[in-house]
Amino acid sequence: MKAERPYPQVRVTRKGERALAAGHPWVYAAEVTEADESIRDGGLADIVSGKGAYLGTGFYNSHSLIRCRLLSRNANDRFDDAFWQRRVQYAWDYRKSVMQPEDLHCCRVIFGEADGFPGLTVDRFGPVLSVQVLSLGMERIQERLLPILTRVLRQDGQDIAGIYLRNDVSLREKEGLAQNKGWFCLPGEPEPTLTGADIVENGIRYRVDFINGQKTGFFLDQKYNRQAVARLSRGRTVLDCFTHTGSFALNAAKGGAKHVTAVDVSEFAVECAAENARLNGLEDVMECRAANVFDLLPQLEKEPKKFDFIILDPPAFTKSRKTIDSAMAGYKEINYRAMKLLPRGGYLATCSCSHFASTERFMAMLRSAARDAGVQLRQIEQRQQCCDHPILWGVEETDYLKFFLFQVV
């Protein structure tokens, strides 16, 4: 006789069943055919097929288009503190296995669904864990989970002063959650007084504003791609477009570039990049300039060619499938202009951080841009996001960053 399950049930369509079987951890509202009346939003529910076969257990939210977020496919799992400790430990052990010890002081500790924590992001900036909670289920258990996370890291000898919640994103509203930010109160500990964190990535020092900086405070996913840029930069004149706080430009300068021009439309970002250059003693090599890249590149075409390495790291031009065509047009415009600016033998680093812009579409855009610019691309390497942002096969949302290095011939 089967043991009685403690969780209410959600019955799904054949389409939902197939998606789960293929490895995707979400059940959409349209895929739910029946849900027990006893289900509590943010609580756990068993997901079952039309015939009642167990498919997994996950968080339920009637306010979200993502009706269920899968936690486990193991019917024997008990979702107690021991379960969460094992899962945190597994995520941390993975980082320790795939990264150098010095990189663990600024890394993504938890990458949502790829680590089995649906809707949870945890970035480490030295002594601070910057946390973003984007699902109701995770919000409901954070009082249990975040102290466990802190304990696992501290028991491994990691210096963790506190946890800062960066829940000031509109995406939370789709889950029925309010926006907020501030220190998470760890039991029995005073609130930290830190207003920033000092980190070292690839030998470069940064002051991270985890309170007001974009996303969680700093983009960690390009860590090893920046190293690839640094290796190609020696003796070159580099143009870094969409520099943000200057990370690619700084790596190029430290890599031995003759001169680096770092450009961003945001005055604040340019000021941060300039401050980071001073912090690393690179201000004589690195010039920071506020300009719209879409206006600047055509202007530079009218001048003698002076850059032999151009870096394009734009923000996501699309966050939905509805705008993918206009986004690809934007990507093509800047890549076409960069290819026209570069001399034969020059180098191009180009990226997209939107998972909607698939690798296939991005490559097709690059081929089209090269054809229109009258150049040929010699690929040096194709890269992805850093390994602390693991790609979980079957979950396309985790595969988002495209990075290519080319020589223009």
Q: Are residues 31 and 151 in the same domain?
A: no
Number of domains in the chain: 3
Q: How far apart are CA 298 and CA 149, in angstroms?
A: 49
Q: Give me the domain span that covers residue 37.
A: 9-72
Question: What positions carry a catalytic annotation?
Answer: 353
Q: Are residues 33 and 154 in the same domain?
A: no
Q: Give the pLDDT score at 355.
A: 85
Q: Are residues 181 and 87 in the same domain?
A: yes
- Predicted structure pTM score: 0.94
Residue 99 lies in a domain: yes
Q: Are residues 26 and 87 in the same domain?
A: no
Q: Are residues 134 and 268 in the same domain?
A: no
- Token pair 């968080």 in the structure block, residue: 59
Q: Are residues 380 and 238 in the same domain?
A: yes
Residue 213 lies in a domain: no
Q: Are residues 52 and 100 in the same domain?
A: no
- In contact, 350 and 338? CB cutoff 8 Å: yes
Q: Give the pLDDT score at 85.
A: 98
The ranges of the chain with pLDDT < 50 are 1
- The tokens describing 207, both together, are 């002051």
Residue 143 lies in a domain: yes
DSSP sequence for 238-259: EEEES-TTTHHHHHHHHTT-SE
Q: Give the pLDDT score at 354.
A: 87
Instruction: Out of 53, 72, 91, pick the residue that ends a domain.
Output: 72
Quick one: which H or E segment has residue 237? strand 237-241
Q: What's the CATH code of the domain at 51?
A: 2.30.130.10
Q: What's the CATH code of the domain at 304?
A: 3.40.50.150
Query: What is the 8-class DSSP label of residue 46?
Result: E
Q: Are residues 257 and 389 in the same domain?
A: yes
Q: Give the pLDDT score at 1.
A: 31
- In contact, 164 and 182? CB cutoff 8 Å: yes
Residue 1 lies in a domain: no
Q: Are residues 33 and 54 in the same domain?
A: yes
Q: Give the pLDDT score at 3.
A: 63
Q: Are residues 58 and 107 in the same domain?
A: no
Q: Are residues 63 and 90 in the same domain?
A: no
